[in-house]
Amino acid sequence: MRVVVTGATGFIGRALTLRLARDGHHVTAWVRDPDRARRVLGPDCDVIRTDDPDALKRAVAAADAVVNLAGEPIVGGILRGRWTRRRKATLIESRLGPTRAVVAAIRAAAATGRAPTLISASAVGWYGTRGDELLPETAAHGQGFAAELCRSWEEVALNARAVTRVVVVRIGVVLGREGGALAKLVPLTKWMLGGPIAGGVQWMPWIHVDDLVDGLVHAMVTPTLAGPVNLVAPAPVRQRAFAQAIGRAVGRPAIAPAPGFALRLLLGEAATVLTASQRAVSEALLASGFVFRYPELDAALQDLTASTGIAMRRLRADEAPTSSYVLARKPRYVLVARSEIAAPLARVFAFFASAENLQLLTPPGMAFVIETPTPIAMAKDAVIDYRLRILGVPARWRTVIEQWTTPSDARDDVDAMFVDAQHRGPYRAWWHEHRFHQDGDRTVMEDRIYYAPPLGVLGAIANKLVVAGQLRRIFGYRAAMIRQRFGTT
């Protein structure tokens, strides 16, 4: 299928474009900043500018589906989270403006041929705050700014019903690595600052990002689905139980309360997003045959916080690679990350051998940008310069491809592999082996990173306190993105 995605560079959009690429769909992203979008989404995704309405019309006319995810975050943090008159106007226009443009393009396509299906985002905020009331898709509309915003948003999208099938997906609290609610709550809980919000009795509809993306794809390809669909897990929980579940997942107590009055002082009316009670349930999705991978909260959080397949230890002298780089720089630690990927070796190697795909696998907060002109001809001795943020500190990194063995060069006793080594950057040593092995119809990929922080003893202390944990987090995110892009066995 050919799919147009708005909001493609956001938390949900990035995961969706990877999943669509896995299924072989052709994706066109409608974006404000094409250069940033190409970095974030990789070379396999086409991009068109939001200030080019003719390009949007052409893309929509050629598409089978449009997934409309555009919209500013409804809670933007303490400094810009209050719903001032100006902020409300921004929230409204960031949703209604792109949706009007998409609907106009769909109606134009219908006038000359076939109109694509529209999957348009909304939120469970549509229901307002409703206490313990069960909220299937047929429940009445609620009150408050968030509810009115969602109603206006949906009404604009539903204007396309005259010419095509329209699904408006009311999304709950999305749980994923390095984005959504967990990006803020997991660090707070690890520092024992997590706990119930405003008493914690309010119902909280949640969904694992993998189920959310699967649900969007399911809505695209299921012709019986139309109208509102709650994209929430089958079992909503009270907010106190949610906080406790995060505590169990990270091994910390979740006992630090956030009183409702304090949130209202900080956020004003916007605090209702955190204190509203919405016991939303996914009746329409389940009735259409959708099966959740993560119907229970504890299993979802375990998946999103665990470091499965990642091991770290002090490096033994007899296991260091034999290379002049390693002999000169003397790494002290090794990280091993293993993935079993549901794709053939040639396809997997080609993806990882493209430097332009590296940002897809890097947490957004690291602000990773390749500075070497792309596309990059990957081979032995290739040099790649990029910049990024490490623990919030800007850094520059130069990597050199030290070894390069393609699948066509591999033999039974020699894996396809390549090595990138840091020649300039924050580590004293960084030697990263990427090994690929075909096992039936799957590929087993193993990353081995031999590294040493700078500053000797101080670096060893920093590794124990901070660096090792950050590397686990980075490679946990990488594994999650690999799963979105290829699936796992």
172-224: pLDDT as tens digits:
999 999 888 898 899 889 988 899 999 999 999 999 999 999 999 999 999 99
Give the pLDDT band of residue 413 (cuts 50, 70, 90).
Answer: low
Q: Is residue 24 part of a domain?
A: yes
Please give the mean pLDDT across all residues of the chain.
Answer: 93
Q: Is residue 321 part of a domain?
A: yes
Q: Which of 283, 305, 327 is the last residue of a domain?
A: 305
Q: Is residue 338 part of a domain?
A: yes
What is the rounded average pLDDT of the residues 276-301?
A: 96
Tokens 């990789």 label which residue? 42
Q: Is residue 373 part of a domain?
A: yes
- Range with lowest mean pLDDT among 147-156, 252-261, 272-281: 252-261
Q: Which of 305, 329, 362 is the last residue of a domain?
A: 305
For residues 462 and 346, membership in a common domain is answered with yes
For residues 294 and 322, membership in a common domain is answered with no
Q: Is residue 190 part of a domain?
A: no
Query: What amino acid occupies position 265?
Result: L
Q: Is a pLDDT exceeding 60 seen at residue 329?
A: yes
For residues 276 and 335, membership in a common domain is answered with no
Rounded distance between C-alpha atoms, residue 173 and residue 203, angstroms:
11
pLDDT tens profile 71-130: 998 876 544 568 999 999 999 999 999 999 999 999 999 998 889 999 999 999 999 999
DSSP state of 124: G
Q: Is a pLDDT exceeding 80 seen at residue 468?
A: yes
Torsion on CA atoms 201, 195, 175, 143, rounded to nearest 10: 40
For residues 152 and 296, membership in a common domain is answered with yes
For residues 218 and 161, membership in a common domain is answered with yes
Q: Is residue 245 part of a domain?
A: no
State percent of the chain over pLDDT 70.
98
pLDDT tens profile 30-83: 999 998 898 889 888 999 999 999 999 999 999 999 999 999 988 765 445 689
For residues 358 and 294, membership in a common domain is answered with no
Determine contact, residues 199/237, Cβ cutoff 8 Å: no
For residues 95 and 118, membership in a common domain is answered with yes
For residues 6 and 126, membership in a common domain is answered with yes
Rounded distance between C-alpha atoms, residue 150 and residue 230, angstroms:
13
Q: Which of 305, 338, 364 is the last residue of a domain?
A: 305
Q: Is a pLDDT exceeding 70 seen at residue 410?
A: yes
E runs forming strands in 259-351 = 279-280, 310-314, 333-341
Q: Which domain holds residue 148?
A: 2-180+202-235+258-305
For 283, the token pair is 């009746």
Helix (H, G, I), strand (E, B) or coil at 324: helix
pLDDT tens profile 223-270: 999 999 999 999 999 999 999 999 999 999 998 888 888 888 888 888
Rounded distance between C-alpha atoms, residue 271 and residue 261, angstroms:
9
CATH number of the domain to which 118 belongs? 3.40.50.720
What are the φ and ψ backbone dihedral angles of 159, each rounded to 5 degrees?
-65, -15
For residues 290 and 427, membership in a common domain is answered with no
Alpha helices in 297-375 (DSSP H): 297-305, 324-329, 345-352
State percent of the chain over pLDDT 90.
80
pLDDT at residue number 78: 47
Candidates 345, 351, 233, 369; CA nearest to 296 is 233
Note the maximum CA span of the chain. 71
Helix (H, G, I), strand (E, B) or coil at 27: strand
Burial track 34-54 (b if 16+ CB lie within 10 A, e otherwise): eeebbbbbbebbbbbebeeee
For 398, the token pair is 């130069």
CATH number of the domain to which 382 belongs? 3.30.530.20
What is the rounded average pLDDT of the residues 326-353?
A: 94
For residues 206 and 290, membership in a common domain is answered with yes
Determine contact, residues 344/441, Cβ cutoff 8 Å: yes
What is the rounded average pLDDT of the residues 21-25?
A: 93
Q: Is residue 195 part of a domain?
A: no
The pTM for the full model equals 0.94
pLDDT at residue number 184: 87
Q: Is residue 251 part of a domain?
A: no
pLDDT at residue number 4: 98
Q: Are strands 416-424 and 429-439 parallel, antiparallel or unpaired?
A: antiparallel
For residues 441 and 455, membership in a common domain is answered with yes
Candidates 126, 21, 13, 2; CA nearest to 60 is 2
Give the pLDDT band of residue 310 (cuts 50, 70, 90).
Answer: very high
Sign of CA dihedral 303, 308, 312, 313: positive
Task: Classify residue 253 as left (phi > 0), alpha (psi -120 to 50) or beta.
Answer: beta
The terminus-to-terminus CA distance of the chain in angstroms comes to: 24
For 204, the token pair is 């909280």
For residues 288 and 322, membership in a common domain is answered with no
Rounded distance between C-alpha atoms, residue 8 and residue 119, angstroms:
13
What are the DSSP calls for 146-192, one per residue? HHHHHHHHHHHHHGGGGTS-EEEEEE-EEEETTEETHHHHHHHHHTT
Rounded distance between C-alpha atoms, residue 241 and residue 235, angstroms:
12
- Count of structural domains within the chain: 2
